[in-house]
Amino acid sequence: MMDRVKGLTVSPGSLHEYILERDMTADKVYTFRFTVIGKGTFPFDMLRYDRCFPHSTNDAGWINESDRQRHIVLVSQNPRKLWMPTFERWRSFGWVVKSTVWERST
pLDDT band at 6 (very low <50, low <70, confident <90, very high): low
Q: What is the mean pLDDT of residues 23-30?
A: 62
pLDDT of residue 101: 67
Strand 30-38 with 14-21, pairing: unpaired
Beta-sheet pairing, 53-54 with 70-78: antiparallel
User: pLDDT tens, 57-88?
Assistant: 999 999 988 889 999 999 998 887 778 899 99
Of 51, 54, 76, give the one whose Cα is nearest residue 65: 54
Question: Over the range 10-48, which residues count as b (16 or more CB within 10 Å of their CB) and which as e?
Answer: beeeeeeebebbeeeeeeeebbbebbbbbeeebbeebee
The mean-pLDDT minimum among 39-43, 44-48, 56-60, 79-83 falls in 79-83
- pLDDT score for 52: 94
